[in-house]
Structure 1
Amino acid sequence: MAFRLHLFSSFLLILITILSSGPNAAEGARVFTIINDCKETIWPGVTPGDNFNGGGFELKSGQSVVFNAPVGWSGRIWGRTGCKFDKNGNGSCQTGDCGNTLKCKGSGETPASLTEFTLANLDFYDVSLVDGFNLPIVVKAFGKGNCSTAGCESDLRKTCPSELSVKSNGKVIACRSACDVFNTDEYCCRGIYGNSAVCQPTYYSKKFKNACPTAYSYAYDDPTSIFTCTGSDYIITFCASNRKQTVCSYHGRKLICSGANGFRSLVGRWWGLMLALVLMTNMWVIS
């Protein structure tokens, strides 16, 4: 009988990050909690990845990890699947590969679901399927302002049109974009289609949008796909099956959780740390 650390594993990681960084470092950075709710191991990639374990790491099913990113960081985070790496971090992935290495130095190969961030006085963030889809991914923001949830909960691998499907051993492992497959100006929003007035949703982008209404489905899908938040921390969940599930982050000297009733500040700083430690000793789930 195996045991795994479930959702609240992120608490201890947050505590370690905060206590090891010191109060000034924590307050001057954004906290990123990355959770793998998929049934399989994934290998998140990050670029630029200096603040994220060098740009890549393994994340088993049910695990989570926490990083600090400074204001001014602008980059992307995605998931890789079907990876095999040796002890030196050399290897390859079926989807999202970034140059046959565990620690990504560049963007992942298409198709891949992407989260994109620009951290400033006003943060901008989104989830993009413009380069295709390989994993469901959701971004929750804890901050002030709009701070809407972005992402794609649906598994488009199950409904991917056959002409866009990427298969391995007869199983669909990713869904390519129409631009990637057909390489036309219309699908790629280039040439005479290189502006928002002319480049409009297509049959394929509409299928993506209907399944994932808060994710980019094509290049000029800005109005319903890009979000802003002030002074925010972020929870990125792969394979989040229910947006109302409880997820927590340590933000603004408080442990804050979201659930069916929205965001709630549970307790102050030190009581929050004590509560998190208590939760850590009791929230083991049999799997």
Structure 2
Amino acid sequence: MASISPPLLPFFLFFFSSVNSATFTILNQCGYPIWPGVLSGAGTSQLSTTGFVLQPGQSNALTMPPSWSGRIWGRTYCSQDNAGRFSCATADCGSGTVECNGSGAAPPATLAEFTLNGAGGLDFYDVSLVDGYNVPMLITPQASSDGGNCTTIGCAANLNTECPMELRVAVDGQSVACKSACGAFGEPQYCCNGEYGSPSTCRPTSYSEFFKSACPQAYSYAYDDGTSTFTCAAANYLITFCPSLSTSVKSSNGQYPRAVDVSKAEYSGRPLASVAVIFTVTAALSRRFLRLL
């Protein structure tokens, strides 16, 4: 039997430890039911569970396969009609059932996005408001190692009450979601397409700044990579809907944690040397890929 030489042993130990499955615990702290939806990315098998209900205070733990990528979101104001068809007023996946079965969220929707075991064995994760907002959400890594800048991120604010009138989605006169400017107006400067289809031409707008000022760590528009993508190694994750207002995403010095700046290929303030290009390309491609779902 072939043996592994001592110099290679740390590499193999790192490789196998970096592809373990992860546990995602999804917790509903809202005062109303949430129907989480789960969508796996292209090339990643759909999970056995792609949708379920969480009553207030309930949680559900999902085992995610190694190298999984995809999205998790919360549907609200859901019901079943007389014909048995299930639908939701916000973030509906259009499947007609509680299970989403490979369908994504209809905007507006707050999205938790993940790419597990990416470049350098790190997980990339973010909370995106690019498709609008419907419910407060935080991602809390429960790290088993010191890799990455594992930190709680997300959007804990209730933006439905502050949403500009032209972006509001209302049910019975109550604001239940907040559209993105792209979703509301469909114009290239808001959707980052056409002549605005690059980071240099698609810039923040007053609408994206509304989302960014309330939730500094969340994606506010398509090319908001530099302040909104975070990494962690060998972690499980807690995804909380309607997190407590006492939950802080600031560090002990009162500052918001730094994201992975994929535009400058930095990580935690230090150059990434030979893996800088890998991080940049992986994070950017992950974001481009997830926006196509």
TM bucket (normalised to shorter chain) is 0.7 to 0.9
User: 2-side partners of 1:123 and 1:130: how far apart?
Assistant: 20
Q: Structure 2 vs 1, CA of residues 149 and 88 (structure 1 numbering), >3 Å: closer, same or farther?
A: farther
Alpha-carbon contact 1:85-1:102 (below 8 Å) kept:
no
Q: Give the total of aligned pairs.
A: 224
Matched with 2:99 is: 103
Q: Structure 2 vs 1, CA of residues 87 and 71 (structure 1 numbering), >3 Å: closer, same or farther?
A: farther
Matched with 2:190 is: 187
Q: Tell me, yes or no, if structure 1 residue 114 matches structure 2 residue 117.
A: no
User: 2-side partners of 1:37 and 1:243: how far apart?
Assistant: 13
User: 2-side partners of 1:35 and 1:53: how far apart?
Assistant: 19
Residue from 159, 164, 168 that aligns with 2:167: 164
> Aligned to 2:236, what secondary structure does the other structure show?
strand
- Which has the larger share of strand? 1
- Of 135-144 and 161-170, more deviation after overlay is shown by 135-144
Q: Tell me, yes or no, if structure 1 residue 209 matches structure 2 residue 204.
A: no
Alpha-carbon contact 1:33-1:235 (below 8 Å) kept:
yes
> Aligned to 2:63, what secondary structure does the other structure show?
strand
Alpha-carbon contact 1:33-1:234 (below 8 Å) kept:
yes
Matched with 2:78 is: 83
RMSD, aligned α-carbons: 2.6
Post-superposition CA distance 1:224-270 (Å, at most 9, x none): 1111111111000000023638xxxxxxxxxxxxx99xxxxxxxxxx
User: What is the deviation of 1:109?
Assistant: 0.5
Q: Percent same amino acid at aligned positions?
A: 50
Matched with 2:66 is: 71
Residue from 49, 58, 77 that aligns with 1:54: 49
User: What is the deviation of 1:101?
Assistant: 1.8
Q: Structure 2 vs 1, CA of residues 73 and 41 (structure 1 numbering), >3 Å: closer, same or farther?
A: same
Residues 1-287 of structure 1: matches in 2 within 5 Å?
A: 28-48=20-40, 52-85=47-80, 90-99=85-94, 100-104=96-100, 105-120=102-117, 121-143=121-143, 144-242=147-245, 244=247
Matched with 1:15 is: none
User: 2-side partners of 1:233 and 1:70: how far apart?
Assistant: 12
TM-score (norm 1): 0.73
User: 1-side partners of 2:84 and 2:122: how far apart?
Assistant: 36
Consecutive unaligned residues of structure 2, counting only runs of 5 or more, are 1-15, 253-293
> Aligned to 1:237, what secondary structure does the other structure show?
strand
> Aligned to 1:117, what secondary structure does the other structure show?
strand
User: What is the deviation of 1:223?
Assistant: 1.2
Alpha-carbon contact 2:26-2:239 (below 8 Å) kept:
yes
User: 2-side partners of 1:232 and 1:85: how far apart?
Assistant: 36
User: What is the deviation of 1:89?
Assistant: 7.5
User: What is the deviation of 1:59?
Assistant: 0.3
User: 2-side partners of 1:242 and 1:175: how far apart?
Assistant: 20
User: What is the deviation of 1:86?
Assistant: 7.4
User: What is the deviation of 1:90?
Assistant: 3.7
TM-score (norm 2): 0.71
